[in-house]
């Protein structure tokens, strides 16, 4: 059914329920149902998490000194445009090496080094990096927040494949673990999803929808507990908006890729392309290389980069690459020294990378020093100021992300303030 047809149906439900001219105060659900017909056009936000803590000195913040890296020396460090990066072509196991990654995407890439996670435990680190708030369990992740602000009515507004995924009760979290799962739920009103075998005749289904809508409105007239109110609205929206999932099927690839990130990417992209999703939280783990750091990181970093490249290539195929905003992060870094097991332990300083819609690439801000400590920065000029600068923490990154997404002043964002003064905010970060 095309959009105008669906809209006619919606109006027809109102008619069937005798409600065309008697709509009370606009409920969230009506708003959602009305907007259901319009595919979300982007931008699409996608967060790559390297769960466990990546070794940034083997990627975008190379050192090669002070025994920080055993696989290369300072003189081996490579550059591409503004970027400096660790060489790993010789050591990478599978995936995409740094050399190829920066060669292809460096001009689009914005890197921030010397990010202070403030803690070095996985759980609070992951929460902090995902939400921008260290000391609260109530804050939504950026991906959830932007989904709620930009397209809460989308049936899969916020997709997650792991990592910290709190929603702040703003939007439902969707887990779609396998590509075929999308197919299963795409045509819910037909037997086995076969459009030719509907459970109900059209007119009967329209009346069911109208009755549900009427019941929903009637419930809204009753005094209810806040939880009941919220749940009823989310349930109604979930069912109504789920019809838009029909649009997804055409974008589900016939074959499922083997790589774990690529599988997540395909689900996210099909959902983006169908306009039923705003943000996706992608994740691979095992970066926590307390033992044998180098072999682990040489396997995982290339796998991670290959996943990012896969996303960008497939998005190109689907013609939505220009609408992507890609955030690449981890919840911590790794120590500048090796432990007795040839591993590296937790380090509270790290990096993040960004790429896509509204982001000017080929730039690097922030830095770590020769011992991998963060170098303070002037947030106004984005210049290093070892003596007068401040430590840049996830709050600043998240404030900037909110600005990039145009949601910094959204009422939902205001519910979750990041507590920064104007002087603390990064200026001109996105270029």
Partner 1 sequence: MLPSFCHKTAIKKSRRSHGLSAAFSVTDFGPVRTVVLALTFLVCYPAHIILGEEPVTRSPMGCLVPAHDFSNPLWLTIGEQKCLTCHQPGGDAAESPFVLMNPQKVELTKRNDAQRQNRAAFVRMATQTENGASRLLQKAIGNLDHGGGAVLKVDSAEYRLLSEFVRRSTGPDEPASRTNESPQRPFFDGVVMLDDRALLRRVTLSLAGRLPTDAEFAAIKQDGKGALPAILESVMKEDAFFDRLREGFNDIFLTLGVDGNADQTCLSYEHFEKTRHWYQHYDLSHIEDKNERQRTEWKIAAEYRQALLGESMKLIEHIVRREKPFTEIVTADYIMVTPYSARGYGVYEEVKSQFKNPADPFEYVPVKLKALVGRSRPEDQESATGFYPHAGLLSTFQYLTRYPTTETNRNRLRARMYYQHFLGVDVLELAARVSDAAAVTAKYEIPTMQASECAVCHRTLDPVAGLFQDYWRFADQGVYGQRKGGWFTDMFGPGYEGADLPADQRWRSLQWLGERTAKDPRFAIAMTEHVYFILTGRKVLLPPRDFEDPLFAAKQRAYAEQRAQTETIAIRFAETGFHLKQVFQDWIASRFYQADGLATAAAEPCRRAELDDVGLVRLLTPEQLERKVHAVFGEKWGRLTEQMATLYGGIDSKEVTDRASDPSGAMGAIQRTLSNDVACKHVPRDFARPVTERMLFPGIESMVTPGVSAEQDALIRQAIVHLHARLLGRDDALDSAEVERTFRLFAGIVQEARDRKGLDSRENYHCRTQKDVPTISDDPHYTVRAWRGVVTYLLRRPEFLYE
Q: Which is nearer to partner 1, 321 or 334 (CB)?
A: 334
Q: Which is nearer to partner 1, 24 or 358 (CB)?
A: 24
Return d(Cα 330, Cα 303) in angstroms, integer.
14
With DSSP H G I counted as helix, E B as strand and the rest as coil, what are the percentages for the chain, rounded to 5?
40, 15, 45
Q: Which is nearer to partner 1, 33 or 355 (CB)?
A: 33
Alpha-carbon distances of 397 from 99, 183, 270, 349, rounded to whole Å: 26, 36, 28, 14
Q: Which is nearer to partner 1, 94 or 180 (CB)?
A: 180
Q: Which is nearer to partner 1, 113 or 241 (CB)?
A: 241
Least distance from C-beta 157 to partner 1, angstroms?
Answer: 8
Least distance from C-beta 335 to partner 1, angstroms?
Answer: 7
Q: Which is nearer to partner 1, 149 or 244 (CB)?
A: 244
Least distance from C-beta 124 to partner 1, angstroms?
Answer: 4
- 222 burial (CB, 10 Å; 0-12 / 13-18 / 19+) is exposed
DSSP secondary structure, 121-177, as one string: -HHHHHHHHHHS-SS-SSPPPHHHHHHHHHHTTSTTSEEE-SS----TTSS-EE---
Return d(Cα 374, Cα 367) in angstroms, integer.
6
Tokens of 361: 């690439």
Show the beta-strand stretches assigned E in 35-154: 44-50, 78-80, 83-85, 109-116
Q: List the one residue out of 148, 147, 117, 114 whose CA is nearest residue 134.
A: 117
Q: Which is nearer to partner 1, 47 or 245 (CB)?
A: 245
Least distance from C-beta 254 to partner 1, angstroms?
Answer: 19
Least distance from C-beta 330 to partner 1, angstroms?
Answer: 15
Least distance from C-beta 352 to partner 1, angstroms?
Answer: 16
CA atoms within 13 A on the CB side of 293: 25
Q: Which is nearer to partner 1, 98 or 174 (CB)?
A: 174
DSSP secondary structure, 251-266, as one string: GS-SS--SSHHHHHHH
Return d(Cα 70, Cα 297) in angstroms, integer.
12
Tokens of 391: 């430590």
């Amino acid at each position: 059914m095309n959009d105008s047809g669906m809209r006619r149906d919606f109006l027809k439900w109102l008619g069937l329920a005798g409600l065309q001219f008697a709509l009370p105060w606009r409920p969230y659900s009506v708003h959602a149902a009305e907007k259901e017909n319009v595919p979300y056009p982007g931008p699409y936000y996608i967060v790559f998490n390297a769960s466990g803590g990546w070794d940034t000195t083997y990627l975008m913040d190379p050192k090669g000194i002070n025994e920080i890296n055993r696989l290369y020396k300072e003189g081996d460090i490579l550059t591409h445009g503004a970027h400096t990066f660790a060489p790993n072509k010789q050591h990478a196991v599978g995936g995409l090496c740094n050399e190829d990654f920066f060669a292809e995407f460096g001009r689009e890439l914005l890197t921030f080094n010397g990010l202070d996670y403030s803690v070095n435990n996985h759980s609070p680190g992951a929460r902090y990096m995902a939400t921008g708030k260290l000391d609260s369990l109530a804050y939504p992740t950026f991906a959830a927040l932007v989904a709620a602000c930009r397209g809460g009515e989308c049936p899969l507004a916020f997709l997650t494949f792991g990592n910290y995924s709190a929603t702040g009760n703003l939007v439902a979290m969707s887990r779609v673990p396998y590509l075929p799962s999308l197919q299963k739920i795409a045509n819910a009103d037909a037997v086995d999803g076969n459009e030719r075998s509907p459970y109900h005749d059209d007119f009967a289904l329209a009346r069911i929808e109208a009755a549900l809508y009427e019941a929903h409105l009637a419930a809204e007239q009753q005094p209810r507990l806040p939880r009941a109110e919220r749940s009823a609205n989310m349930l109604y929206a979930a069912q109504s908006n789920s019809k838009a999932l029909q649009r997804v099927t055409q974008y589900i690839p016939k074959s499922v890729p083997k790589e774990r990130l690529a599988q997540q990417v395909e689900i996210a992209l099909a959902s983006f392309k169908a306009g039923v999703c705003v943000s996706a939280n992608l994740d691979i783990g095992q970066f926590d290389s307390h033992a044998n750091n180098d072999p682990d990181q040489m396997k995982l970093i290339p796998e991670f980069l290959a996943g990012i490249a896969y996303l960008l290539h497939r998005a190109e195929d689907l013609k939505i690459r220009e609408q992507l905003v890609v955030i690449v992060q981890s919840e911590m870094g790794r120590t500048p020294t090796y432990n007795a097991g040839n591993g590296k332990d937790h380090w509270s300083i790290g990096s993040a990378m960004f790429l896509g819609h509204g982001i000017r690439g080929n730039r690097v801000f922030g830095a770590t020093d020769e011992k991998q400590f963060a170098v303070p920065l002037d947030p106004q000029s984005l210049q290093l100021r070892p003596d007068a600068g401040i430590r840049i923490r996830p709050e600043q990154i998240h404030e900037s992300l909110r600005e990039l997404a145009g949601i910094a002043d959204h009422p939902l964002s205001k519910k979750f303030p990041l507590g920064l003064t104007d002087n603390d905010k990064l200026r001109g970060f996105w270029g």
